Chain A
Amino acid sequence: MYQYDQLDQAFVDQRVSEFRDQTRRFLAGELSEDEFKLLRLRNGLYIQRHAPMLRIAIPYGLLASRQLRKLGEIARRYDRSFGHFTTRQNLQLNWPKLEDVPDILEQLATVQMHAIQTSGNCIRNVTADHMAGIAEDEVDDPRPYCEIIRQWANLHPEFTYLPRKFKIAVTGSPADRAASEVHDIGLHLRRDKQGNIGFQVLVGGGLGRTPIIGQVIREFLPLPDLLSYLDAILRVYNRYGRRDNIHKARIKILVKSLGIARFRDQVETEWQAARDIAPGLEASQVERVRSFFQPPAYESLQNIDVAAGREPQFQAWYRYNTRPHRVAGYRAAFVSLKAHGQNPGDMSSGQMEAVAALADRVSFGLIRVTHSQNLLLGDVRQSDLYAVWQELRGLGLAMPNIGTLTDMIACPGLDFCSLANAGTLNVAKQIQEQFDDLDYLYDLGDIEIKMSGCMNACGHHHVGHIGILGVDKHGEEWYQITLGGSVNGFTALGEVIGPSVPQAEVASTIERIVEVYRAEREDGERFIETIRRIGVKPFKEGAYATHSQAA
């Protein structure tokens, strides 16, 4: 993985010093709440319902074991010994003390980590496919380009006070495991006829209260033009994005109001005009960064049948929680953060330290953080999988539910977040209880539930096969349900099925919805495919069936 050089280290160290001084001035009363807010946000620090929340960047989801160990140590020392992994490959600490944050950032800098620009109206942590570098269907590894973008975005002097937040995701695979089409910019790696690397560029995607799927602004952007083109898009946005209304300030609204053709013209014009100031990307620089992402020293192995003769629990884990690897004899193994009875995406300090140690032994000391709020050991020898399963099981991290209905995405909701209208964690628990029978879960197959506690959509509810949105109804927590959303290579927004339901009825409503699927599905048809084939109407009828009878 990438290693900081002197420049990178000096930058994060100076950033820590700067924030330490800003925090000191705030506590001394020299900076007002409002002034400090914009500064702390750009260092990942929110003031939440109960306490500050610190969002730590895990650029493109890649962690070295020493970094995960450090996160565990920080969570224990400065928080309540756990952290929450988010859909954008960040780790959130929910209880740090404001005055400790400079020390936390200093600790992070010792392992080449930071919380720079993980919040605020600026370019956020750049995210990628968690299968980067090991997927069988990949054009190229997106991570070197993510790292280059991370650097370009760090304290970009012109784009640190944008109209609104700005998220970039890069994927090298058509399966788009990074949800790139619902990002402000989505970059899809492509090769031209000569084999040169470039990107299909999408712009103007985003969720929130106006969900929009990104549109193609460039079919093929050659790699050397990457940073200059990003500069041009950002400059057009910084100048013309709306600043009068926070709900209309994302780039998606600008793209929508101009239309993609006019927006494209403006960007192209700006791009041509800015050649004299825009950053170039020399081949030597790309090579330097790429050299850090060379495949590890794989052994020469054969694929083996590791499940044969093993107990059914291991077979289930193998089937649901491991994925094929491009190198024979290896597989990728999920560390499930979706055990029933726990908050989706939460991990304790002890678990972090144990997984760091496990990664050192079985996966070249690297851990990946996924968009779906799990971790992944990317390079496990197939012959090690059984031992890995046993160890993960002992840690409570082997729930064999990846890709099933209880592998749901959820934001922290009302329990932590001051923006939320409704809780998500209680609902998640209810769903886990309702669907605790693994055979039933497996029969249902691939179903993605995504849940947000408010319309800011941190839980990506619009693109869940089943989306759950918490709403406030006269002081009570109610939930609106959408069906038919998806990402992963076919992006679609879900359709609201009808009136929202009270908290106690979310799980039973979902059960009625999936029962419609069980009744209607054709052989081998996935839940989302049945919805696409028959439409949401039968599901709608099913969802409210007992409701109308009761009324």
Chain B
Amino acid sequence: MRRILRRREVVEDDWRLAGEEGGDDAGSPALILPFAEFRTHIAKWRAYPGRLGVRLSPADAAEDLAEDIQRLSLVAAEFPTPGEGRGYTQGRLLRSRLQFKGELRAVGAAVKQDLLFILARCGFDSFELAAGQKVEEALRALDRYSVAYQPAEPVPSIRQQRYSVAG
């Protein structure tokens, strides 16, 4: 089972990836689908009785989930390499433009402690940490800064922020 750092707790992943073997197949497990699969068989998945999540590739447009966002309990964005930065925008758009309230998960080989703070600031609250990452260090990394300049997603460690959204 995958271990996930979710809302500051390490949990066993209760989600199954589409096509993933094993586990309890009874009923309708919570399932994460690649966005392409979700879109191709949209009618089928809309009727799926269990909890549903979608995994976006970096090139996918978060807005394309708008119609189904209420139906989704989880959206995952990929960070396959540390230089791949489109997922940050996906996160912000999901939280702000699509008002997504469910689990926003960062996945991929680059999900390591040094990116966690900015990921959290872009709305990610769940991290599938890359192999070898120490949970204690990851938790500390989430609180690395107590100040920020931009009005991004709020995180608990930030006590002071310079700019806010025009009101």
Residues of chain A at the chain B interface (Cβ within 8 Å) = 6-7, 10-11, 14, 18, 22, 34-35, 38-39, 121, 151-152, 154-163, 224, 227-228, 235, 238-239, 243, 273-282, 285
The contact sample of 23 A-B pairs, CB cut-off 8 A, is: A14-B144, A22-B114, A38-B82, A38-B83, A121-B85, A152-B163, A155-B149, A157-B88, A157-B122, A157-B150, A158-B122, A161-B82, A161-B88, A235-B89, A238-B85, A275-B166, A276-B165, A277-B92, A279-B151, A279-B166, A280-B164, A280-B166, A281-B163
B30 is an interface residue with CB less than 8 A from chain A? no
Other-chain residue from B144, B160, B163, B165 in contact with A285 (beta carbon distance below 8 A): B163
Query: CA of A7 to CA of B145 in the docked complex: distance in angstroms?
Result: 11
Knowing A161-B84, A239-B86 touch, does A155 contact B118 (C-beta < 8 A)? yes
19 additional A-B residue pairs with CB within 8 Å, beyond A157-B148, A280-B163: A6-B160, A11-B147, A18-B144, A35-B82, A152-B163, A155-B148, A156-B149, A157-B152, A158-B88, A161-B88, A227-B163, A235-B89, A239-B86, A275-B166, A277-B92, A278-B151, A279-B151, A280-B164, A281-B166
* Residues of chain B with a CB closer than 8 A to A152's CB: 149-150, 163
Question: Which residue of chain A lies nearest to B63 when distances are taken between CB atoms in the complex?
Answer: A273
Other-chain residue from B61, B118, B148 in contact with A160 (beta carbon distance below 8 A): B118
Contact mask B70-90 → A, CB, 8 Å, 1/0? 000000000000111110110
Contact mask B48-86 → A, CB, 8 Å, 1/0? 000000000010010000000000000000000011111
Nearest-neighbour CB distance to chain A for B161, whole angstroms, equals: 8
Interface residues of B in 121-167 (CB under 8 A from A): 121-122, 144-153, 160, 162-167
The answer to whether A158 touches B89, judged by C-beta atoms less than 8 angstroms apart, is: yes
* Residues of chain A with a CB closer than 8 A to B85's CB: 121, 159-163, 238
B7 is an interface residue with CB less than 8 A from chain A? no
Query: CA of A160 to CA of B152 in the docked complex: distance in angstroms?
Result: 13
Size class of the contact patch on chain B: 35 or more
Q: Is the interface of B mostly helix, strand, loop or mixed?
A: loop
B96 is an interface residue with CB less than 8 A from chain A? yes
Other-chain residue from A7, A39, A155 in contact with B160 (beta carbon distance below 8 A): A7
Query: CA of A121 to CA of B82 in the docked complex: distance in angstroms?
Result: 11
* Residues of chain B with a CB closer than 8 A to A151's CB: 149, 162-163
User: Considering the complex of A and B, which 5 residue pairs feature the smallest CB-CB distances, nearest first?
Assistant: A280-B166, A161-B85, A157-B121, A279-B163, A157-B118
Query: CA of A260 to CA of B82 in the docked complex: distance in angstroms?
Result: 30
B2 is an interface residue with CB less than 8 A from chain A? no
Residues of chain B at the chain A interface (Cβ within 8 Å) = 58, 61, 82-86, 88-89, 92, 96-97, 112, 114, 117-119, 121-122, 144-153, 160, 162-167
* Residues of chain B with a CB closer than 8 A to A158's CB: 88-89, 92, 118, 122, 152
Nearest-neighbour CB distance to chain A for B71, whole angstroms, equals: 22
* Residues of chain A with a CB closer than 8 A to B97's CB: 273-274, 276
The answer to whether B145 touches A39, judged by C-beta atoms less than 8 angstroms apart, is: no
Question: Which residue of chain A lies nearest to B110 when distances are taken between CB atoms in the complex?
Answer: A35
* Residues of chain A with a CB closer than 8 A to B118's CB: 155, 157-158, 160
* Residues of chain A with a CB closer than 8 A to B150's CB: 152, 156-157, 279
Nearest-neighbour CB distance to chain B for A213, whole angstroms, equals: 27
Nearest-neighbour CB distance to chain B for A29, whole angstroms, equals: 12
Query: CA of A14 to CA of B158 in the docked complex: distance in angstroms?
Result: 12
* Residues of chain A with a CB closer than 8 A to B114's CB: 22, 35, 39
Question: Which residue of chain A lies nearest to B132 when distances are taken between CB atoms in the complex?
Answer: A30
